[in-house]
Structure 1
Amino acid sequence: MDKTAIQKIIDILQKEYDISGYSNRGNAYEVLVGTVLSQRTKDEVTWPRNKELMKKANTPEKMLELSEKEIAKIIYPVGFYNQKAKKIKELSRILVEKYGGKVPRGREELMRLPGVGGKTADCVLCFAFNEGVIPVDVHVEVIAKRLGIADWKDKPEVVRKKLHQFVPKDKRNSINALFVEHGKRVCTTRRAYCERCSVVKYCPKIMKK
C-alpha cells in the first residue's frame, strides 16, 4: 500500500458515502460528551440521547446543575449509563474549574479528563476542532490492517501513527467517517465482503492476524 493508492481509496469512498453528519455533531462540548456516551454503544443509540441531554445541559456549567441520576435517566439506554453519567458530571466539573468551561484543544489535556482516552480525544480534535487527526476505532483499525497500512499486532496508537504517515493532513478528518461507513456495510470486523467492495483493486486483502 502506498500514498497514491490511499488517495484513490479516499476519493472513491468520498463519492460512495455521505459523511456530512459526522461534522454536524455540535460544538466541542457536545462532541466530547457524545463521544464518551458512544463508547461501547451504537451511534443510532448514542447521538439521539446526546441530543436530548444537550437540550437540558449544553454547557459544563448547566451539566453541573443536573444530578447523576438525572443525567443517567436522560442518556438511558446507552451502555453503562450510570458510569457514564458520573464521568460526564466529573469532566464537566473539571472543565469549569480548570478551563473556564471550555474544552481544551490539546490531546494530552483531553486525555486527562475522566472517560477520555486517545480515540475520544481524537474525535474531539477531528470533529469539533478540525485538527487533522484520525480517531482509530475498531472499523478504522481493522480496515487499516487489511489494507496493509498497519500490522495485525499493532495497538491503536501505532495504527494511528502509521495512518498519519500515509494520509495527508488535509484528508485525515474524513478517514474515520469513511472507514466507519465502509466498515459497517462492506469491510466489517467479522467479514470482508470483497465481492461488493468499490476499492478492492487497491487492497492487498491481508485477512490473517
Structure 2
Amino acid sequence: MKKERKLREVIALLKDEYGEHHYTARVDPLDILVETILSQNTTDKNSSRAFNNLKKKFPKWEILLKTDPRAIQKAIRSGGLPGIKARRIKHVLQDIKRRRGKLELDFLKGMPADEAMEFLQSIKGIGPKTASVLLIFRFNKPMMPLDTHNLRVAKRLGIIPAGMSPEKAHELMNRMVPDEEKKSLHMNFILHGRKICTARNPKCNLCVLNRLCDYYRNLR
C-alpha cells in the first residue's frame, strides 16, 4: 500500500476512534514556548509542575531574564534536566528580546508559516517540534509537531522510515499530511501512543490500525 493511501486511512480511523481537535490556546505565546521546552524528555505531569513552579516564581518573563540560572534550575527541578533547560529557556528569551527589542512573539501571527518556522528555529534551543507546537496551537498555522508518540506510531506504521531523524521526519510528515488534518492527527497520535501504541508492550490486538501496521505484520 502506498504511504499516501495508508496515511489517509490512518487519519480517518483515528478520527473515528478519538475525534477531531480544533483547540487553539489563548495564552501568551512565550508561555507555550517555555512550557514546550520544559516538556522535553519528561512526562506531562512533571513538565506541568515545573512550569507552574516557574510561573509562580517569575510571573513575568522579564524578571527571569535578570535572574541567576541557579534560581531557575531550582524552580524547574521537577521537570528533569534543570541545568540544561534553565540555560536554554534564558537563552531563548534573551535572544528574542535582542532581536525584537522586546519580549513578545505576537508578530508571528502575521508571518507565513515557513517564515515563522525559520525565525524560531534560528534561535538556539528551538527545534522543529517546539516551533511547531507554538505555531499550530497558538497561531493556528499548519505545522505538525512530532513528539515521541507521533514518531513512534508513524514509524511503526511504516509512514516514516525507522531510521529517519526527527528533523527529517518532521519535514516528511508536514509534506504528506494535509494542512487541515495536522492538528487532529498530531493529537490523535498522542492519544493512540499513550493508550494503545505504547513504547513497551503495545496493545496491538486492540489497535484499530493493526491491519495497516508494519510493526504488527512483522510480529505475526
TM-score range, shorter chain: 0.7 to 0.9
TM-score by length of structure 2 reads 0.80
> Does residue 63 of structure 1 match 2:73?
no
Q: Which runs of 4+ in 1 moved over 6 A?
A: 18-22
CA distance in 1, matches of 2:181, 2:4: 12
Residue 188 of structure 2 corresponds to: 178
Other-structure match for 1:201: 211
- Aligned length, in residue pairs: 208
Alignment match, 1:136: 146
The residue that corresponds to 1:48 in the other structure is: 49
| Cα pair distance change 1:169/1:148, threshold 3 Å | same
What's the TM-score once normalised by structure 1's chain length?
0.83
1:12–1:188 CA distance, 2 compared to 1 (3 A): same
Alignment CA distance shift 1:194-1:127 (3 Å): same
CA distance in 2 between counterparts of 1:34 and 1:19 reads 24
Counterpart-to-counterpart distance in 1, 2:59 and 2:184: 26
The answer for the alignment partner of 2:103 in structure 1 is: 101
Letter in 1 for 2:14: L
The amino acid that maps onto 1:124 is L
Gaps of 5+ in 2: 109-115
AA aligned to 2:62 is: E
* Preserved contact between residue 24 and residue 139 of structure 2 (Cα < 8 Å): no
- 3-state SS of paired residue (1:47): helix
1:81: which partner in 2?
82
Task: Name the amino acid aligned to 2:92.
Answer: L
Deviates more, 1:94-103 or 1:57-66: 57-66
Structure number having the greater helix percentage: 2
- 1:143 is paired with a residue whose SS is helix
Gaps of 5+ in 1: none
Paired residues of 2:38 and 2:47 also in contact (CA < 8 A): yes
Within the candidate set 200, 207, 210, 1:190 is matched to 200
Going from structure 1 to structure 2, the CA distance change for 1:90 and 1:164 (only over 3 Å counts) comes to closer
Q: Quickly say closer, same or farther: Cα 1:95–1:129, change in 2 above 3 A.
A: same
